[in-house]
Amino acid sequence: MRVVNPYEVAFREARSAIGAHEILESAEEFPSLTEAVADCALVVGTTCLRRRGLEHTLHRLEDGAPLIRTQLESAPVALLFGSEKFGLSREDLAHCHWLMRIATADRQHSMNLGQAVAVCLYELSRNDLDPAAAPLPAWTQTV
Protein backbone atom coordinates (compact mmCIF):
# COMPACT_ATOMS: atom_id res chain seq x y z
CA MET A 1 0.00 0.00 0.00
CA ARG A 2 1.19 3.46 -0.90
CA VAL A 3 -0.15 6.69 0.55
CA VAL A 4 0.41 10.24 -0.62
CA ASN A 5 0.65 12.96 2.02
CA PRO A 6 -1.62 11.20 4.52
CA TYR A 7 -3.46 13.34 7.05
CA GLU A 8 -1.36 12.37 10.04
CA VAL A 9 -4.10 12.45 12.70
CA ALA A 10 -6.44 10.16 10.72
CA PHE A 11 -3.57 7.95 9.54
CA ARG A 12 -2.35 7.48 13.13
CA GLU A 13 -5.89 6.71 14.37
CA ALA A 14 -6.47 4.20 11.53
CA ARG A 15 -3.47 2.22 12.76
CA SER A 16 -5.49 1.23 15.82
CA ALA A 17 -8.17 -0.52 13.72
CA ILE A 18 -8.25 -4.31 14.04
CA GLY A 19 -5.68 -5.82 11.67
CA ALA A 20 -4.62 -2.44 10.29
CA HIS A 21 -1.46 -1.87 12.30
CA GLU A 22 0.84 -4.11 10.24
CA ILE A 23 -0.58 -2.94 6.92
CA LEU A 24 -0.29 0.74 7.77
CA GLU A 25 3.13 0.34 9.37
CA SER A 26 4.43 -1.16 6.12
CA ALA A 27 2.69 1.44 3.92
CA GLU A 28 5.05 3.51 1.82
CA GLU A 29 4.54 7.26 2.11
CA PHE A 30 5.17 9.52 -0.88
CA PRO A 31 5.17 13.32 -1.08
CA SER A 32 3.44 13.31 -4.49
CA LEU A 33 1.22 11.10 -6.60
CA THR A 34 3.72 11.35 -9.46
CA GLU A 35 6.35 9.65 -7.30
CA ALA A 36 3.91 7.08 -5.91
CA VAL A 37 2.86 5.80 -9.36
CA ALA A 38 6.17 6.26 -11.19
CA ASP A 39 6.83 2.51 -11.53
CA CYS A 40 3.24 1.51 -12.34
CA ALA A 41 2.40 0.27 -15.84
CA LEU A 42 -1.30 0.90 -15.24
CA VAL A 43 -2.96 3.59 -13.12
CA VAL A 44 -6.72 3.25 -12.57
CA GLY A 45 -8.72 5.96 -10.86
CA THR A 46 -11.97 5.39 -9.03
CA THR A 47 -14.94 7.70 -9.53
CA CYS A 48 -18.64 8.06 -8.81
CA LEU A 49 -19.00 10.34 -11.89
CA ARG A 50 -20.91 13.01 -10.05
CA ARG A 51 -20.58 16.56 -11.44
CA ARG A 52 -17.81 15.55 -13.82
CA GLY A 53 -17.40 15.06 -17.53
CA LEU A 54 -15.53 11.99 -18.68
CA GLU A 55 -12.14 12.35 -20.30
CA HIS A 56 -11.13 8.71 -19.71
CA THR A 57 -12.47 5.31 -20.60
CA LEU A 58 -14.79 4.10 -17.85
CA HIS A 59 -15.21 0.50 -16.69
CA ARG A 60 -17.58 -0.86 -14.08
CA LEU A 61 -15.72 -2.60 -11.25
CA GLU A 62 -16.69 -6.11 -12.33
CA ASP A 63 -15.37 -5.42 -15.86
CA GLY A 64 -12.25 -3.52 -14.82
CA ALA A 65 -11.06 -5.98 -12.17
CA PRO A 66 -10.10 -8.73 -14.67
CA LEU A 67 -8.14 -6.16 -16.71
CA ILE A 68 -6.25 -5.12 -13.58
CA ARG A 69 -5.57 -8.75 -12.60
CA THR A 70 -4.16 -9.45 -16.06
CA GLN A 71 -1.82 -6.44 -15.87
CA LEU A 72 -0.71 -7.39 -12.34
CA GLU A 73 0.78 -10.59 -13.74
CA SER A 74 3.55 -8.58 -15.40
CA ALA A 75 3.80 -5.13 -13.80
CA PRO A 76 2.73 -2.97 -10.86
CA VAL A 77 -0.73 -1.40 -10.98
CA ALA A 78 -2.00 1.57 -8.99
CA LEU A 79 -5.62 1.87 -7.93
CA LEU A 80 -6.31 5.47 -6.90
CA PHE A 81 -8.93 6.53 -4.38
CA GLY A 82 -9.69 10.18 -3.74
CA SER A 83 -11.09 11.85 -0.69
CA GLU A 84 -14.65 10.99 0.33
CA LYS A 85 -15.71 14.60 -0.04
CA PHE A 86 -14.11 15.57 -3.36
CA GLY A 87 -12.85 12.41 -5.07
CA LEU A 88 -9.81 12.60 -7.31
CA SER A 89 -8.67 16.00 -8.53
CA ARG A 90 -8.09 16.81 -12.21
CA GLU A 91 -4.37 16.61 -11.47
CA ASP A 92 -4.84 13.12 -9.96
CA LEU A 93 -6.93 12.04 -12.95
CA ALA A 94 -4.13 13.13 -15.30
CA HIS A 95 -2.12 10.14 -14.03
CA CYS A 96 -4.88 7.65 -14.83
CA HIS A 97 -5.03 5.41 -17.89
CA TRP A 98 -8.74 4.75 -17.29
CA LEU A 99 -11.40 5.01 -14.59
CA MET A 100 -13.43 2.47 -12.68
CA ARG A 101 -16.81 2.85 -11.00
CA ILE A 102 -18.56 0.79 -8.37
CA ALA A 103 -22.25 0.52 -9.26
CA THR A 104 -24.35 2.08 -6.50
CA ALA A 105 -28.00 2.98 -6.04
CA ASP A 106 -29.09 6.25 -7.65
CA ARG A 107 -29.83 7.87 -4.30
CA GLN A 108 -26.36 6.96 -2.93
CA HIS A 109 -23.85 8.16 -5.51
CA SER A 110 -20.72 6.92 -3.79
CA MET A 111 -19.36 4.89 -0.90
CA ASN A 112 -17.15 6.02 1.91
CA LEU A 113 -13.46 5.40 1.34
CA GLY A 114 -13.22 2.26 3.48
CA GLN A 115 -16.20 0.66 1.76
CA ALA A 116 -14.90 1.50 -1.71
CA VAL A 117 -11.46 0.07 -0.97
CA ALA A 118 -12.94 -3.11 0.53
CA VAL A 119 -15.30 -3.69 -2.40
CA CYS A 120 -12.56 -3.06 -4.98
CA LEU A 121 -10.07 -5.34 -3.24
CA TYR A 122 -12.68 -8.06 -2.88
CA GLU A 123 -13.44 -7.92 -6.60
CA LEU A 124 -9.73 -7.91 -7.46
CA SER A 125 -9.11 -10.96 -5.25
CA ARG A 126 -11.82 -13.05 -6.93
CA ASN A 127 -10.68 -15.68 -9.38
CA ASP A 128 -13.17 -15.82 -12.26
CA LEU A 129 -11.56 -18.97 -13.64
CA ASP A 130 -12.02 -21.03 -10.48
CA PRO A 131 -15.71 -21.88 -9.88
CA ALA A 132 -14.91 -22.71 -6.24
CA ALA A 133 -13.75 -19.11 -5.75
CA ALA A 134 -16.82 -17.55 -7.36
CA PRO A 135 -19.48 -15.99 -5.13
CA LEU A 136 -22.65 -17.94 -4.44
CA PRO A 137 -25.67 -17.08 -6.59
CA ALA A 138 -28.12 -14.64 -4.99
CA TRP A 139 -30.76 -17.38 -4.60
CA THR A 140 -28.41 -19.66 -2.63
CA GLN A 141 -29.02 -19.87 1.11
CA THR A 142 -26.43 -20.88 3.64
CA VAL A 143 -27.69 -22.85 6.64
Q: What is the CB neighbour count within 10 angstroms for residue 123? A: 20
| Four-CA torsion 122, 6, 73, 127, nearest 10 degrees | 0
Q: Does residue 44 form part of some domain?
A: yes
Q: Domains in the chain: how many in total? A: 1
Q: What is the CB neighbour count within 10 angstroms for residue 84? A: 13
Domain that holds residue 41: 32-133
Its pTM surpasses 0.85: no
pLDDT at 21 over 70: yes
Q: Does residue 6 form part of some domain?
A: no
Give the domain CATH number at 46: 3.40.1280.10
Residues 6+ apart with CB under 8 A from 139: none
Q: Does residue 140 form part of some domain?
A: no
Task: Tell me which of 82-91, 105-114, 116-125 is least confident.
Answer: 105-114
CA distance 40 to 45: 13
Strand pairing partners for 60?
101
Strand pairing partners for 4?
30
